[in-house]
């Protein structure tokens, strides 16, 4: 069906859906019958096979070294950046880059060329910032990059979007980014083309710019070759071989190359290249259609026109060599290659444009810039892009094979990401660490389920649309749901659960008794949504659950937590854990130890609880997001002499975890078991295996991770429904109530408990967050990170973990803290919040975060208790500052049901020197409790 769009002065024919628009190369229109027989054979196969190049093998064999320390697969902008940075590090002569086609083979109209800093996280922003600075330096050195510092203008059509801009403006000082909030009129001053219809304001980032991705790629390649990197084109990888879990060699169409490191920078084909090794490296990516509209040259169009994004219209446009380049992100992307067959050449990636699918974006573009109606269309290109399931970049060492690195999923922002990614991957390869915490981008954030082709098909329809959506707190995906569920999931749904998802696991975020059934009277599956920066719609529900946990009994599903079992025949399991953990794990059987697994710099790679089940058997409980990551860390750092003697098993899916918490939880559990649960028999931070109801073999831990009295029951799945039913029925007399993640989160924030991935990361040490008492420097085995922590203890910490209570903040009308708010001491910026929430006991906003000490020249100085407590604090929330009271230790909250064990325990302590008193070899107790404080039972 043909459409004709009338333009004042011009008539532009919009071509039918199945046909290419004028200006596309003939190669795009090749049918399968026109392709060569080799391509046909590949396209008929579901399994990915590399491009055949037999006719070039003899010629390439002379170019291919027999051995190379690093082999990079992929000659796009990311692979070129990695090669360049390896060359800078002095590894150029030991680096080989292979490309199945030509390096920088992207067609010139398949990228927008934005080099911008507008990113949702500090890590992504800093990677983009480095990339932009690098492009500038290359241009200054005479290399063509197409760089022009035109700035970026980001438009808002809603109050919430302006709030998001104000939040970014508040963060800008901390993140080192210059930006300005604009009125609608000021937006028009930066870009005269704009219609201000519906515009509330904007965010101007003057240091952003545009460039030519092809030229930048060629600049990287030129410099890489100058630094000794060998580049071989028309050479495809056929297999990646490993030995003893590490990369050994690669097999190419021109011969084999022995190597120590392999880097998968194949972008569009990264998932398929992952299948060329055994075991398969899972790189969860899916291709979707992505359109770029190009006009003919427009007379009088300024080359200084900024890069404009109308986020709420889902569109962007820029000036490009005298014409307009425009595009956008649809709410629901259109999938391609759903049968799993991926073409190998760049030209085969070009699909005919789909005007029907692009029409919504075209309407938004013409609304924002009415003068474009007079422009003449050059082409609409359908240049496919790949997205990850969470719409973030994928970096890091593959969980399946050591020394196999991945850099993929850069969406349409490859040029903005390329320089930073090249730098951090080079750091990881050459030094084992880098200058940024990368856990939010690390490939180990995924499970195998995320690589499922049908899951990717569903999720990646939604993911590209998230790129321009408002980054609301606790935002949830709507697709790929009801995947991992505990056995009690149907009962929780029936009870009114509103779910969130973590690592594919459905867990209740809160419970709402209204509208919990569908039109047929069946329990409705509901996904939690916040959709505001102020008081959330679930506030009252969480308040009720919070009170139940503090005053009666709450029951919560903890099943998503990561669970590992460690065991050995001899004492090897103790030796391994003593080496991996900074606390002393050689505790009495039945004890629970809370410990970090530090990296060589002292930062947290994992924060976990270990229950000693027997002399040679431990159970580890870790955050949900650690399920893949922890196993990678343990396997990589297990000493060789222990590998054959210690067994580590991921038992996450074997146990349902139910937490009962509140002042009556001990009485409730006592009614369902014959075991004595008095504090003397079953004290805080200990473990017992109990019979509960009619079930046996229930692993019960006397902790709740919230500071409240209670227990977590790890139940074999076949008993889960029975145990849950007995607990819930017996709890009716105590008015038991379901509690979701938001309620338990509020409890732990008030109790000043730090969580990995939110407060703790790979750059945070125990000494910085009030946990030095959990580090046993004197234990008999030298643990990872010990030297770095000793050095830090001697020199003093450069930042300190604090709790801030906001004064004069009205939770009903003021914008809330959601994490990432700047902290000011005596009017000077000193840090950022990490986890925040409303304290239902304090009746205040509660912020956790880190403060630093800067001198007048911006240099960091040691942070002491006296420094922290002597200042006057403010927290800036979306541009408004609120006074705050600071705490350095976990508070004792007022309660009608005091518990001496809990009151004596402080997860965060304000005296770092306690570590000396609690060191290995001397056992003391907390006065009046009998709780050992050397880590035995803590």
Strand order in the sheet with 95-99: 230-233, 95-99, 70-73, 261-264, 404-408, 394-397
User: What is the spatial distance between Cα 274 and Cα 268, in angstroms, rounded to a whole number?
Assistant: 12
Q: Give strand ranges (E) for 855-917.
A: 860-861, 873-877, 880-887
- Give the pLDDT of residue 330: 93
Q: For residue 377, which phi and psi values (nearest 5 degrees)?
A: -70, 135
Structural domains in the chain?
68-151+207-445 (3.50.50.60), 763-904 (3.30.1360.120)
Output the six-digit token pair for 595.
């410990």
The helix/strand/coil state of 929 is: coil
- Give the pLDDT of residue 579: 98
Which strand (E) or helix (H) includes residue 382? strand 377-383
DSSP 621-638: EE-GGGHHHHHHHHHHHS
Chain mean position to CA 872: 33
User: What is the spatial distance between Cα 639 and Cα 626, in angstroms, rounded to a whole number?
Assistant: 21
Eight-state DSSP code of residue 449: G
* CA angle 565–567–569, rounded 5-degree value: 165
Output the six-digit token pair for 938.
């803590």
Eight-state DSSP code of residue 484: B
Do 570 and 645 contact (CB within 8 A), yes or no?
Answer: yes
Which candidate, 147, 161, 158, 153, places its Cα nearest to that of 191?
153
Helix, strand, coil percentages, rounded to 5, for the chain: 30, 25, 45
Output the six-digit token pair for 486.
């505990």
- Give the pLDDT of residue 383: 83
User: What is the spatial distance between Cα 365 and Cα 358, in angstroms, rounded to a whole number?
Assistant: 11
End-to-end CA distance of the chain: 71
Eight-state DSSP code of residue 201: E
User: What is the spatial distance between Cα 298 and Cα 16, in angstroms, rounded to a whole number?
Assistant: 25
Do 412 and 111 contact (CB within 8 A), yes or no?
Answer: yes
Strand order in the sheet with 554-557: 687-692, 695-701, 710-716, 655-661, 554-557, 737-738
Output the six-digit token pair for 247.
């990369």
**Burial per residue of 104-140, b for 16 or more beta-carbon CB atoms within 10 angstroms, e otherwise:** bbbbebbbbbbbbbbbbebbbbbbbbbbbebbbebbe
- pTM for this model (two decimals): 0.91
Burial class from Cβ neighbours inside 10 Å (0-12, 13-18, 19+) for residue 144 reads: middle
Burial class from Cβ neighbours inside 10 Å (0-12, 13-18, 19+) for residue 699 reads: buried
Output the six-digit token pair for 813.
């009308």
Output the six-digit token pair for 676.
């004595």
User: What is the spatial distance between Cα 663 and Cα 710, in angstroms, rounded to a whole number?
Assistant: 8
Do 324 and 295 contact (CB within 8 A), yes or no?
Answer: yes
- HSE (CB half, 13 Å, CA atoms) of 361? 27
Q: Give strand ranges (E) for 735-781.
A: 737-738
Question: Count of residues for the chain?
Answer: 938
Name residues whose C-beta falls within 8 Å of residue 585's C-beta, 6 or more positions apart in sequence: 574, 577, 578, 593, 595, 610, 612, 618
Burial class from Cβ neighbours inside 10 Å (0-12, 13-18, 19+) for residue 789 reads: buried
Which candidate, 264, 271, 266, 265, places its Cα nearest to that of 285?
271
**Burial per residue of 585-619, b for 16 or more beta-carbon CB atoms within 10 angstroms, e otherwise:** bbbeebbbbbbbbbbebbbbbbbbbbbbbeebebb
Eight-state DSSP code of residue 35: S
User: What is the spatial distance between Cα 340 and Cα 454, in angstroms, rounded to a whole number?
Assistant: 10
Do β-strands 554-557 and 737-738 pair in parallel, antiparallel, or remain unpaired? Answer: parallel
| Cross-strand pairs, 71 | 96, 262
Mean pLDDT, 10 residues at a time, the chain of 938 residues: 34 35 29 39 46 53 87 95 98 96 71 89 94 96 96 97 96 88 98 96 97 94 97 94 97 95 94 96 94 94 96 96 95 85 71 93 96 94 91 96 95 86 98 96 97 95 94 96 97 98 97 92 96 98 98 98 98 98 98 97 98 98 97 97 97 98 97 96 96 98 94 98 98 98 97 95 96 94 97 96 97 97 96 97 97 91 96 96 94 76 66 39 35 35
Which candidate, 328, 332, 381, places its Cα nearest to that of 352?
381
Do 115 and 209 contact (CB within 8 A), yes or no?
Answer: yes
User: What is the spatial distance between Cα 418 and Cα 437, in angstroms, rounded to a whole number?
Assistant: 17
Q: What is the number of helices (H) and of strands (E) in the chain?
A: 22, 44
Do 73 and 237 contact (CB within 8 A), yes or no?
Answer: yes
User: What is the spatial distance between Cα 343 and Cα 42, in angstroms, rounded to a whole number?
Assistant: 8
Name residues whose C-beta falls within 8 Å of residue 34's C-beta, 6 or more positions apart in sequence: none
Residue that is written with structure tokens 């209204």 in the block: 514
């Amino acid at each position: 069906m043909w459409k004709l769009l009338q333009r004042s002065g011009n008539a532009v024919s919009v071509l039918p859906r199945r046909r290419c628009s004028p200006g596309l190369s003939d190669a795009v229109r090749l049918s399968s019958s026109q392709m060569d027989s080799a391509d046909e054979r590949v396209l008929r196969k579901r399994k990915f096979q590399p491009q055949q190049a037999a006719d070039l093998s003899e010629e390439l064999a002379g170019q291919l070294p027999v051995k190379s320390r690093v082999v990079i697969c992929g000659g796009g902008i990311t692979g070129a950046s990695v090669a360049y940075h390896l060359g800078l590090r002095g590894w150029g002569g030991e680096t080989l880059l292979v490309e199945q086609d030509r390096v920088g083979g992207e067609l010139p109209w398949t990228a927008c060329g934005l080099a911008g800093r507008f990113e949702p996280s500090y890590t992504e922003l800093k990677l983009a910032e480095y990339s932009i600075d690098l492009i500038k330096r290359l241009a200054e050195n005479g290399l063509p990059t197409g760089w022009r510092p035109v700035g970026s203008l980001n438009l808002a059509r809603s109050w919430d979007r302006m709030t998001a801009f104000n939040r970014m403006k508040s963060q800008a000082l901390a993140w080192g980014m210059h930006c300005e909030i604009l009125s609608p009129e000021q937006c028009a001053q930066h870009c005269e083309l704009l219609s201000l219809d519906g515009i509330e304001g904007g965010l101007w980032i003057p240091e952003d710019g545009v460039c030519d991705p092809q030229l930048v790629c060629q600049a990287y390649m030129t410099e890489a070759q100058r630094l000794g990197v060998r580049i071989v084109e028309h050479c495809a990888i056929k297999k990646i071989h490993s030995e003893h879990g590490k990369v050994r060699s690669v097999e190419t169409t021109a011969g084999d190359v022995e190597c120590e490191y392999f880097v998968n920078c194949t972008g569009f084909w990264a998932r398929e290249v992952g299948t060329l090794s055994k075991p398969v490296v899972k790189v969860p990516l899916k291709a979707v259609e992505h359109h770029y509209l190009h006009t003919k040259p427009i007379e009088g169009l300024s080359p200084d026109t900024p890069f404009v994004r109308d986020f709420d219209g889902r569109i962007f446009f820029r000036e490009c060599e005298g014409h307009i380049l425009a595009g956008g992100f649809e709410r629901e992307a259109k999938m391609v290659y759903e049968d799993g067959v991926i073409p190998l050449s760049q030209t085969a990636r070009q699909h005919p444009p789909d005007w029907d699918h692009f029409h919504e974006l075209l309407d938004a573009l013409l609304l924002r810039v009415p003068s474009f109606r007079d422009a003449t269309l050059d082409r609409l290109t359908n240049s496919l892009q790949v997205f990850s399931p969470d719409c973030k970049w994928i970096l890091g060492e593959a969980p399946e094979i050591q020394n196999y690195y991945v850099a993929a999923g850069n969406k349409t922002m490859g040029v903005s990401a390329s320089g930073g990614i090249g730098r951090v991957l080079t750091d990881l390869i050459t030094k084992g660490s880098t200058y940024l915490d990368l856990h939010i981008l690390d490939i180990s954030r995924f499970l195998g389920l995320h690589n499922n082709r049908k899951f990717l098909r569903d999720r990646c329809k939604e993911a590209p649309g998230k790129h321009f959506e408002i980054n609301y707190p606790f935002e949830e995906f709507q697709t790929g749901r009801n995947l991992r569920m505990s056995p009690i999931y149907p009962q929780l749904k029936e009870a009114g659960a509103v779910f969130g998802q973590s690592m594919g696991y459905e867990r209740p975020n809160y419970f709402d008794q209204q509208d919990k059934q569908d039109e047929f009277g069946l329990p409705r599956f509901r996904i939690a949504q916040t959709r505001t920066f102020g008081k959330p719609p679930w506030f009252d529900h969480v308040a009720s659950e919070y009170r139940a946990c503090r005053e009666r009994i709450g029951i919560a599903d903890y099943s998503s937590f990561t669970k590992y079992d460690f065991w050995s025949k001899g004492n090897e399991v103790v030796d391994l854990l003593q080496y991996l953990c900074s606390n002393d794990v050689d505790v009495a059987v039945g004890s629970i130890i809370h410990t970090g697994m530090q990296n060589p710099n002292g930062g947290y790679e994992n924060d976990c609880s270990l229950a000693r089940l027997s002399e040679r058997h431990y159970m580890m409980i870790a955050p949900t997001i650690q399920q893949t990551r922890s196993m990678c860390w343990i396997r990589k750092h297990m000493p060789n002499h222990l590998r054959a003697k210690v067994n580590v098993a991921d038992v996450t899916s074997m146990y349902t975890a139910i937490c009962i918490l509140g002042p009556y939880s001990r009485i409730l559990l006592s009614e369902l078991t014959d075991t004595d649960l008095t504090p003397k028999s079953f004290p805080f931070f200990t473990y017992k295996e109990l019979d509960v109801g009619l079930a046996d073999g229930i692993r019960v831990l006397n902790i709740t991770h919230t500071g409240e009295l209670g227990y977590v029951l790890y139940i074999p799945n076949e008993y889960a429904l029975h145990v849950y039913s007995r607990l819930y029925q017996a709890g009716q007399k105590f008015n038991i109530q379901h509690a979701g993640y938001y309620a338990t989160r509020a409890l732990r924030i008030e109790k000043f408990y730090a969580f990995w991935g939110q407060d703790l990361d790979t750059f945070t040490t125990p000494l910085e967050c009030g946990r030095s008492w959990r580090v046993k420097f004197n234990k008999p085995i030298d643990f990872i990170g010990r030297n770095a922590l000793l050095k830090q203890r001697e020199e003093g910490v450069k930042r300190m973990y604090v709790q801030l209570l906001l004064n004069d903040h009205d939770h009903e009308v003021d914008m809330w803290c959601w994490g990432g708010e700047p902290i000011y001491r005596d009017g000077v910026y000193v840090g950022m919040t990490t986890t925040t929430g409303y304290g239902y006991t304090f009746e205040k906003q509660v912020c956790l975060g880190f403060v630093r000490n800067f001198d007048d020249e911006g240099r960091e100085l040691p942070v002491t208790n006296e420094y922290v407590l002597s200042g006057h604090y403010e927290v800036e929330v979306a541009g408004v500052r609120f006074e705050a009271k600071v705490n350095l230790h976990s508070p004792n909250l007022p309660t009608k049901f005091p518990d001496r064990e809990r009151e004596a325990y402080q997860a965060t302590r304000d005296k770092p020197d306690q570590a000396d008193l609690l060191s290995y070899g001397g056992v003391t107790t907390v006065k009046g409790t009998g709780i050992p404080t050397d880590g035995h039972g803590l």
